[in-house]
Amino acid sequence: MDARITAELLLQVFYPNTPLHDGAAVVVGDRLQAAGCVMPLSSSKALNQSPERESGLRHRAALGIAEVSDAIALVVSEETGTISMANRSRLLKRISAEKLENYLKAFYNQSGLLSPSTFLARVEHRIGRDRDEGA
């Protein structure tokens, strides 16, 4: 896709029952590179031993891509809004928005990539500009 992130694009990708809704969205920098992607599934036994058995296909895919790449994978429950994050073959479940922000800041500071606050500021700026232009 290599698409500029806009409010309309994000709504389309994350709106239920749309073609791009199923599968993963891949963000690189401040651009949506792809959506509706199939990720490799983890074969980790740790997911099977989870006492709450919440580790479904989304969690397996998040952990799977984190096992084979340097990606950070986020899983957000449509039902409850709970957030899970996979990175470096680890899956952190039920993390708060504040903890997620701290984890992302730490990751981006270590890697020298675009900071989460810079990314969000750019997205918000573009969304505001698109609204002003009537896009």
Is 113 a residue whose pLDDT tops 60?
no
Residue 27: strand pairing partners: 32
Judge if pTM exceeds 0.75. no
121 band by pLDDT with thresholds 50, 70 and 90: low
Cβ burial, residue 61 (10 Å; 0-12/13-18/19+): buried
Residue 115 has pLDDT above 90, yes or no: no
More confident residue, 55 or 105: 105
The confidence band for 3, taking pLDDT boundaries of 50, 70 and 90, is very high
* pLDDT at position 122: 58
